[in-house]
Amino acid sequence: MRVDVLIVGAGFAGAVLAERSASAGKSVLLIDKREHVGGNAYDELDKDGLLVHRYGPHIFHTNSALVSDYLSRFTDWRSYEHRVLAVVEGEHYPIPINQTTVNRLYGLDLDEAGVAAFFERVREPRDPVKTSEDVVLNSVGRDLCDKFFRGYTRKQWGLDLSQLSAQVAARVPVRTNTDDRYFTDSFQKMPAEGYTKMFDRMLQHPNIRVELGADFEALRDRVTWDRLFYTGPIDEYFRFRHGKLPYRSLRFEHEHRVGVDRFQSVGTVNYPNDHDFTRITEFKHLTGQQHPGTSIVREYPQAEGDPYYPIPRPENQEVLRRYDVLAKAERSVFFVGRLAQYRYYNMDQVVAASLKIGETVFHDPTLLM
Ligand code: FAD
Ligand code: UDP
């Protein structure tokens, strides 16, 4: 079989590039080894009729008007600002750590300036800030670090904060005000009918053929193409020539509660120091769905299983660098997305990177209009 463009992986990276390629007049074959499109953002109705995210909670947020406008061609939106509480010694506190967290935890009544002075007093200055431990100690000191970050991180990554690059813990800000939103991006919203419906619309183009349950390995020598966009794990593409890049995995435990309208007061509750799971998410908060029951998911981190998280630490970057050299030498093959670029990307960052590559490859600035 011959196509202009072969795309491996039907997540955000693959779907955006399929849509961009098709709009540029190319014939596209998009394959995924899973039985559905959407990658890790896939959502579906569970057996009780609630819209759930099979691979854990996905909350859309971006500061990019370009990304927001592009996706808005394929979906309407529902406004949603995510809020998270962390359970510490049996009590619920806002995370990111903010004024309320500090005052409730230590029985204080500080205003914004007071909380800033408090952080100044308890922080352990670090210079340079290299690891995730440096990030947290440098901003909130040891007690808050141990209560909110160290246990969660050990569970999530199987590593100590000091073994992870700064960017991991730096994802979670620290605030002196009472803002209790998890994100502060200018666009915070969920696709009104879910992610999968949005993907279906992106891929509804006569030039796009989608094959599910199709592994690249099996097709590799059967399909010829002018360009290949590869969005799976980069080490796998090169048959692990430079060794395995570690990806952290998760086991998701989905549960439905009959007749329970609300299981918890916010979308996600984190458990930094208790239980084997890191967090519980209740989907109705995210989707706004009306239903007499509710569905939740618990996330249990594990080393083996589907690759979900690249693990940002210097030794892995070193292996990645060697794969990047191979990638650059591969003619007409482009490595895009969280697994192929081995970057801790959010959805919007994958969309932005994919739009950019699409534009570069097809040399057509109107593609972005
Ligand atoms: P993926 O979605 O991983 O898609 C890659 C696809 O390639 C997969 O479907 C896979 O089956 C397929 N594939 C791999 N190898 C092969 C092969 N050999 N042959 C055929 N197919 C193959 N981002 C946010 O912005 N907000 C959030 O709230 C958020 N929450 C998250 C929660 C969890 C638990 C996880 C794991 C991620 C979360 N993310 C979130 C990140 C988000 O999932 C990613 O940024 C995004 O889905 C990555 O898209 P992608 O196309 O790069 O990769
Ligand atoms: N983190 C933590 N405690 C929390 C929330 C986050 O220690 O209550 C750390 C942890 O290392 C986590 C990282 O910050 O992996 C990034 O958190 P985020 O919520 O962005 O993780 P994701 O949603 O990507 O799983």
Amino acid type, 339: L
Question: What is the Å distance from ligand 1's center to 207 Cα?
Answer: 24
Please list every protein residue whose CB sits less than 6 Å from any atom of ligand 2. Answer: 86, 95, 148-149, 152-153, 156, 168-169, 171-172, 270, 272
Q: Residue 112, SS3?
A: helix
Question: What is the Å distance from ligand 2's center to 103 Cα?
Answer: 22
- Of 280, 275, 58, the closest CA to residue 155 belongs to 275
Long-range contacts of 358-362 (CB under 8 A, 24+ apart): 358/16, 358/17, 358/20, 358/21, 358/24, 359/20, 361/227, 361/334, 362/20, 362/21, 362/24, 362/26
> Predicted confidence band at 368 (pLDDT cuts at 50, 70, 90)?
very low
- Atom of ligand 2 lying closest to residue 57 CA: 23
- Report the pLDDT value the prediction gives residue 362, as an integer from 0 to 100: 87
pTM of the model: 0.98
Query: How far is Cα 138 from Cα 121, in angstroms, rounded to an integer?
Result: 11
| Residue 135 confidence (pLDDT) above 70 | yes
Q: What is the pLDDT of residues 57-88, one digit of tens each?
A: 999 999 999 999 999 999 999 999 999 999 99
- Atom of ligand 2 lying closest to residue 153 CA: 11
Q: What is the pLDDT of residues 208-266, one digit of tens each?
A: 999 999 999 999 889 999 999 999 999 999 999 999 999 999 999 999 999 999 999 99
Question: What is the Å distance from ligand 2's center to 156 Cα?
Answer: 8
Amino acid type, 69: D
- Atom of ligand 1 lying closest to residue 82 CA: 28
Q: What are the strands, taking DSSP E only, across 142-194?
A: 187-191
Q: What is the pLDDT of residues 148-178, one digit of tens each?
A: 999 999 999 999 999 999 999 999 999 999 9
Query: How far is Cα 56 from Cα 308, in angstroms, rounded to an integer?
Result: 10
Domains in the chain (CATH in brackets) are 2-37+203-246+311-368 (3.40.50.720), 44-83+181-191+247-309 (no CATH), 98-170 (no CATH)
> Predicted confidence band at 363 (pLDDT cuts at 50, 70, 90)?
confident
| Residue 367 confidence (pLDDT) above 90 | no
Q: Which residues pair with 282 in a beta bridge?
A: 296
- Report the pLDDT value the prediction gives residue 365, as an integer from 0 to 100: 54
Question: What is the Å distance from ligand 2's center to 172 Cα?
Answer: 7
Give the CA distances from residue 297 to residues 46, 51, 78, 85, 250, in Å, rounded to whole numbers and listed in that order.
Answer: 12, 12, 21, 15, 12
| Residue 366 confidence (pLDDT) above 70 | no
Cβ neighbors of 329 (< 8 A, separation 6 or more) are: none
